[in-house]
């Protein structure tokens, strides 16, 4: 009997099935230190137990994206080992803070299947849920990936394209955080004087700084998340691909852009929802990442007078600073753009 995991092909997925993923993972302050070292985030809530507990947390919670990557990594061997491309994200909700010492698991439900017209591939839609050791959800999101068929002739029994929300509603964000004391949030220590009310819809912010990515860095990060996608690690096999080199995990770009966004969004301390996300172009080692953001909406959260939500669109580029806000262009994007992420960040009011 074959002992290695060949991964699922498109025809192996069944609409409505639930997939429990390996490997359970206890996240620790060791993971937090590595996350800091890999991306350089400076949001005070995640950086300081003292700051976080004065504000109302039990202690410094994990960076939301560290939670996301750990939860995501578990899905790779079951969902995307034979994927051609990661197409998008939607309906991402961070349901409560995760603290060092907690154990994370992931389950996914297949919520959509759509064969490609050439019958070589198909799109798999899953809703993945990260849970704690007790099985309570801490994160939920949908993603869809283009997956190869093992056999183009295989017949797909049931197909469906799910209807996904264009955006997470602000009222769904309110439970993401414990009750907080906005007066105890020290703007000086946090490094930015701007509260929620200082941001205006339509405002654009160039995050200015750039970060060059090395092979060792993205490999260390991707292994930390126990993400096993071969394209990120096997430089020998990569020589025969269309790119000729290793691809950087798309989540690495998201974390870099988020860390860069501190310069301009220093009090947007928590990601509570992911409305939409697209990896527009691949990133490779040696490239330098820049980012800019646009404020799409400013929202109050029902029942909360401590924090409100900024709907942000953060665009990341490679090898092009963002003073000119490189963006969509014609049918596609400016060729420098690599990421277009639409999300909700929470901020003290």
**Of residues 195-234, which lie at the interface with its own copies (CB under 8 A)?**
198-199, 203, 205-212, 214-217, 219-224, 226, 228, 230, 233-234
Nearest residue to 161 (alpha-carbon basis) of 92, 119, 115, 121? 115
Minimum CB separation from its own copies for residue 142, in Å? 22
User: Could you tell me which residues are beta bridge partners of residue 333?
Assistant: 328
Minimum CB separation from its own copies for residue 281, in Å? 16
Exactly one of 17, 58, 103, 137 binds its own copies (CB under 8 A); that residue is: 103
Minimum CB separation from its own copies for residue 176, in Å? 22
Q: Among residues 101 and 178, whose Cβ is nearest to its own copies?
A: 101
Exactly one of 152, 162, 191, 335 binds its own copies (CB under 8 A); that residue is: 191
Task: Examine residue 5 and tell whether it contacts its own copies (CB under 8 A).
Answer: yes
CA distance 224 to 66: 10
Q: How does DSSP assign 279-292, residue by residue?
A: E-S---TT-EEEEE
Sequence-separated (6 or more) residues with CB below 8 Å from residue 140: 91, 92, 93, 95, 127, 128, 129, 130
Task: Examine residue 48 and tell whether it contacts its own copies (CB under 8 A).
Answer: yes
Q: Among residues 199 and 333, whose Cβ is nearest to its own copies?
A: 199
Minimum CB separation from its own copies for residue 169, in Å? 26
Task: Examine residue 300 and tell whether it contacts its own copies (CB under 8 A).
Answer: no
Q: Among residues 67 and 205, whose Cβ is nearest to its own copies?
A: 205
Cα–Cα separations (whole angstroms), residue 62 to 26, 34, 51, 97: 12, 12, 14, 7
The CA R_g of the chain, rounded to the nearest whole Å, is 20
Q: Do 82 and 146 meet the contact criterion of CB atoms below 8 Å apart?
A: no
Exactly one of 288, 297, 300, 325 binds its own copies (CB under 8 A); that residue is: 288
Minimum CB separation from its own copies for residue 92, in Å? 24
Cα–Cα separations (whole angstroms), residue 126 to 96, 106, 214, 236: 21, 12, 31, 31
Number of residues that bind its own copies (CB under 8 A): 81
Nearest residue to 128 (alpha-carbon basis) of 104, 149, 146, 150? 104
Nearest residue to 167 (alpha-carbon basis) of 303, 346, 347, 343? 343
The helices-and-strands tally (H runs, E runs) of the chain is: 8, 13
CA distance 186 to 6: 51
Q: Among residues 22 and 324, whose Cβ is nearest to its own copies?
A: 22
Q: Among residues 1 and 155, whose Cβ is nearest to its own copies?
A: 1
State which of positions 16-35 bind its own copies (CB under 8 A).
20-26, 28-34
CA distance 261 to 44: 14
State which of positions 233-252 bind its own copies (CB under 8 A).
233-237, 246
State which of positions 151-190 bind its own copies (CB under 8 A).
188-190
Minimum CB separation from its own copies for residue 161, in Å? 29
Contact code string over 115-154 relative to its own copies, x by CB under 8 A = ------------------x---------------------
Q: Among residues 42 and 119, whose Cβ is nearest to its own copies?
A: 42
Q: Among residues 58 and 161, whose Cβ is nearest to its own copies?
A: 58
Minimum CB separation from its own copies for residue 100, in Å? 8
CA distance 202 to 206: 13
Task: Examine residue 38 and tell whether it contacts its own copies (CB under 8 A).
Answer: yes
Q: Do 210 and 288 meet the contact criterion of CB atoms below 8 Å apart?
A: yes
State which of positions 266-285 bind its own copies (CB under 8 A).
266
């Amino acid at each position: 009997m074959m002992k290695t995991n060949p991964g699922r092909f498109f025809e192996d997925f069944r609409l409505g099935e639930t997939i429990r993923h390996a490997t359970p993972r206890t996240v620790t302050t060791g993971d937090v230190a590595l996350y800091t070292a890999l991306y350089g985030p400076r949001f005070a809530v995640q950086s300081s137990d003292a700051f976080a507990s004065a504000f109302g947390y039990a202690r410094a919670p994990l960076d939301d994206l560290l939670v996301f990557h750990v939860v995501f990594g578990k899905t790779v061997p079951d969902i995307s080992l034979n994927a051609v491309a990661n197409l998008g994200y939607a309906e991402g909700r961070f349901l409560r803070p995760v603290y060092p010492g907690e154990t994370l698991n992931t389950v996914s439900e297949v919520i959509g299947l759509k064969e490609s017209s050439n019958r070589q591939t198909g799109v798999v839609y899953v809703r993945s849920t990260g849970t704690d050791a007790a099985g309570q959800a801490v994160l939920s999101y949908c993603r869809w990936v283009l997956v190869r068929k093992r056999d183009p002739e295989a017949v797909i029994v049931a197909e469906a394209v799910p209807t996904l929300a264009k955006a997470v509603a602000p009222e769904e964000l309110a439970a993401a955080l414990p009750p907080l004391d906005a007066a105890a949030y020290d703007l000086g220590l946090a490094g930015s004087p701007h509260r929620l009310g200082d941001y205006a819809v339509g405002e654009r912010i160039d995050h200015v700084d750039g970060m060059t990515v090395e092979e060792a860095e993205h490999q260390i990060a991707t292994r930390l998340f126990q993400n096993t996608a071969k394209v990120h690690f096997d430089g020998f096999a990569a020589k025969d691909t269309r790119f000729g080199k290793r691809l950087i995990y798309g989540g690495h770009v998201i974390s870099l852009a988020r860390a860069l966004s501190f310069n301009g969004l220093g009090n947007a301390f928590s990601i509570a929802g992911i409305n939409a996300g697209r990896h527009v172009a691949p990133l490779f080692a040696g490239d330098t990442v820049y980012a800019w953001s646009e404020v799409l909406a400013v929202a109050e959260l029902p029942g909360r007078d401590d924090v409100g939500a900024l709907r942000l669109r953060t665009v990341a580029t490679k090898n092009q600073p963002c003073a000119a806000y490189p963006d969509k262009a014609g049918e596609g994007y400016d060729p420098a753009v690599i990421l277009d992420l639409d999300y909700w960040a929470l901020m003290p009011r």
